[in-house]
Amino acid sequence: MKRIKTDVLIIGAGSGGLSVAAGAAQMGADVVLLEGHKMGGDCLNFGCVPSKALIASGKAAQSQRHASQYGVANGSGAADYAATKDHVHDVIAQIAPVDSQERFEGFGINVIREYGCFISPTEVQAGETVITARRIVIATGSSPLVPPIPGLSDVPFETNETIFDLRDKPEHLLIIGGGPIGMEMAQAHIRLGCSVTVIEGAQALGKDDPELAAVVLDSLRAEGVMIREQTKAAQIKGAAGAIEVISETGETIAGTHLLMAVGRKANIDNLGLEAGKIKAKGNGIEVDAGMRTSNRKVYAIGDVAGGLQFTHVAGYHAGVIIRSMLFGLPSKAKVSHIPWATYTEPELAQVGLTEAQARKEHGTALEVVRFDYAHNDRAIAERKTTGFIKLMVHKGRPVGASIVGYQADELINLWALALANRMKMSQIAAMVAPYPTIGEINKRAAGAYYSPRLFDNPKVKKIVGLVQRYIP
């Protein structure tokens, strides 16, 4: 058995782990990085990157079918399903060198391609190596949650870890789970020529503002996606090419393929948490505001910490703990400024409080401001007028922003900046946006906050009248 010592040991080479490793090594720490599966983790190999690549294929097909609105002849939009998967894997291959073992070894990091398991509060075993570290970071991410639905284990099914390797186009894809992953894959597949039925036990896109979610769901239904809400799967039957989902009410929903997209579970089962004196809690590891576990020498970041499960959150957590680990400075993670997006068309994005949350927290002191895409000249030129922005404002500061529409994932960045820095609406209103851009929507929304204060204010009108009368 080989034994080594290091300053920082990181378990998991996904987004969060790689960020910590690169930062710590480049600032002079001795770093060991463990990864028993694929470098880059879920985001690169099974999540963000392949899903957005497949969504791009679906958009390309859909744009051909609707080209006539731009004065161009409509095309068939026929998709070669296997070729779209070639595109997906080409995208992964282009990005993979950034997350590669070779690149991180170039930073001076000792990369060990083994899974890690605690054997004591300060020691982790990885294959034939035992590593003793001053600080340890658990960044093992999460995996698809596969619920114990009767019959599921007897039929073939896909998850986000297998769907991107499927090369034969599903004739009728059944998706259990109406969250962001389920809805993104539903739209991508119907645009690639599949029939699609989404089966959701509660409300589809239930974590988002229901008014905005409805815009997305209406658009998907208009494209032909069958969305069955309040429909819980009680049993699954069949075989490859002929799968049946039986609901709690006894209804049978038939399809050829099944995708499970009901959520994710933290990867903690084989970490030896008990030996490491580390407590688990709910869907993940228990951490404090500084991302420290019950073992003060150990941090947990990203999905495994049991909070918001987004790649950018893992990267944010990495910055928080680097400040603490390397410089001994107090550092706490927040969630109030964390944005997220669902990459359907139209897109759906959120940062801060939704309207319901903001009304509960701020009551009658809350102001809600809206601006429609239909009033944006660039959106009109692009034929992308479906959607709107909704701002939640308290005492002149935005406390939340909800956007549904074209490039909502890009527009939300400004409001994430505003919330992170406690900016005022006046600072957003003072911004000058180039014309014509979709980004003007943010500017105009901020202007809509001030419009009644200027145009419907008798005092303002009186002052203007006096100036016009008495000042030459």
Task: Say if residue 124's pLDDT is above 70.
Answer: yes
Q: Is 82 exposed, middle or buried (0-12, 13-18, 19+ CB in 10 A)?
A: exposed
pLDDT at 454: 61
Task: Say if residue 459's pLDDT is above 90.
Answer: no
Ramachandran area for residue 245 (φ above 0: left; ψ -120 to 50: alpha; else beta): beta
Confidence class for position 390, pLDDT limits 50, 70, 90: very high
pLDDT at 465: 75
Mean predicted lDDT score pLDDT of the chain? 95
405 is in an annotated binding site: no
pLDDT at 195: 98
182 is in an annotated binding site: yes
Could you tell me what percent of the chain has a pLDDT over 90? Answer: 93
Q: What is the mean pLDDT of residues 109-129?
A: 97
428 is in an annotated binding site: no
Q: What is the mean pLDDT of residues 45-65?
A: 97
208 is in an annotated binding site: no
Q: CA-to-CA distance for 67 and 335, rounded, in angstroms? A: 41
Two tokens, residue 26: 């480049």
pLDDT at 78: 96
412 is in an annotated binding site: no
Which of helix, strand or coil describes residue 350? Answer: strand
184 is in an annotated binding site: yes
Task: Say if residue 106's pLDDT is above 90.
Answer: yes
| pLDDT tens-digit readout, 193-213 | 999 999 999 999 999 999 999
179 is in an annotated binding site: yes
Confidence class for position 12, pLDDT limits 50, 70, 90: very high
263 is in an annotated binding site: yes
Q: Residue 80 — φ and ψ, nearest 5°?
A: -90, 105
Two tokens, residue 396: 């002149």
302 is in an annotated binding site: no
Q: Residue 252 — φ and ψ, nearest 5°?
A: -105, 130
Which of helix, strand or coil describes residue 25? Answer: helix
Task: Say if residue 439's pLDDT is above 90.
Answer: yes
Q: In what order do the strands lie in the sheet with 397-405?
A: 339-342, 347-352, 397-405, 387-394, 366-372
pLDDT at 435: 96
Confidence class for position 455, pLDDT limits 50, 70, 90: low
| pLDDT tens-digit readout, 151-201 | 999 999 999 999 999 999 999 999 999 999 999 999 999 999 999 999 999
Q: Tell me the domain boundaries of the chain.
A: 2-39+100-144+265-327, 152-262, 339-455
Q: Which amino acid is at 308?
A: L
178 is in an annotated binding site: yes
Multiple choice CATH, 2-39+100-144+265-327, 3.30.420.60, 3.50.50.60, 3.30.160.100, 3.40.50.720: 3.50.50.60
219 is in an annotated binding site: no
Query: Within 10 Å of residue 235's Cβ, how many Cβ atoms?
Result: 15
Give the count of alpha carbons within 13 A of 79, CB side only.
Answer: 29
Q: What is the mean pLDDT of residues 220-249?
A: 97
352 is in an annotated binding site: no
| pLDDT tens-digit readout, 262-277 | 999 999 999 999 999 9
Question: Do the domains 2-39+100-144+265-327 and 339-455 sit in the same CATH topology, yes or no?
Answer: no
238 is in an annotated binding site: no
CATH code, 152-262: 3.50.50.60
276 is in an annotated binding site: no
142 is in an annotated binding site: yes
Q: CA-to-CA distance for 347 and 331, rounded, in angstroms? A: 33
- Angle CA 431–434–438, to nearest 5: 95
pLDDT at 342: 98
The CATH class, in words, for 339-455 is alpha beta
- In 27-100, alpha helices (H): 41-45, 48-65, 81-95
pLDDT at 469: 77
Which of helix, strand or coil describes residue 114? Answer: coil
- Angle CA 275–278–284, to nearest 5: 125
* Residue bearing tokens 């080209």: 67
Q: Is the bond preceding 436 in cis, omega lying within 30 degrees of 0?
A: yes
pLDDT at 351: 98
| pLDDT tens-digit readout, 297-338 | 999 999 999 988 999 999 999 999 999 999 988 899 999 999
Q: In what order do the strands lie in the sheet with 252-255?
A: 233-239, 242-247, 252-255
Q: CA-to-CA distance for 204 and 160, rounded, in angstroms? A: 18
Q: What is the mean pLDDT of residues 232-252?
A: 96
Predicted TM-score (pTM) of the model is 0.94
In sequence order, what are the residues at sequence separation of 6 or more whose Cβ sits closer than 8 angstroms to the Cβ of residue 465? Answer: none
Q: What is the mean pLDDT of residues 332-360?
A: 97
28 is in an annotated binding site: no
In sequence order, what are the residues at sequence separation of 6 or more whose Cβ sits closer than 8 angstroms to the Cβ of residue 320? Answer: 290, 291, 301, 331, 332, 333
Q: How far is CA 470 from CA 452, 464, 465, in A?
A: 26, 10, 9
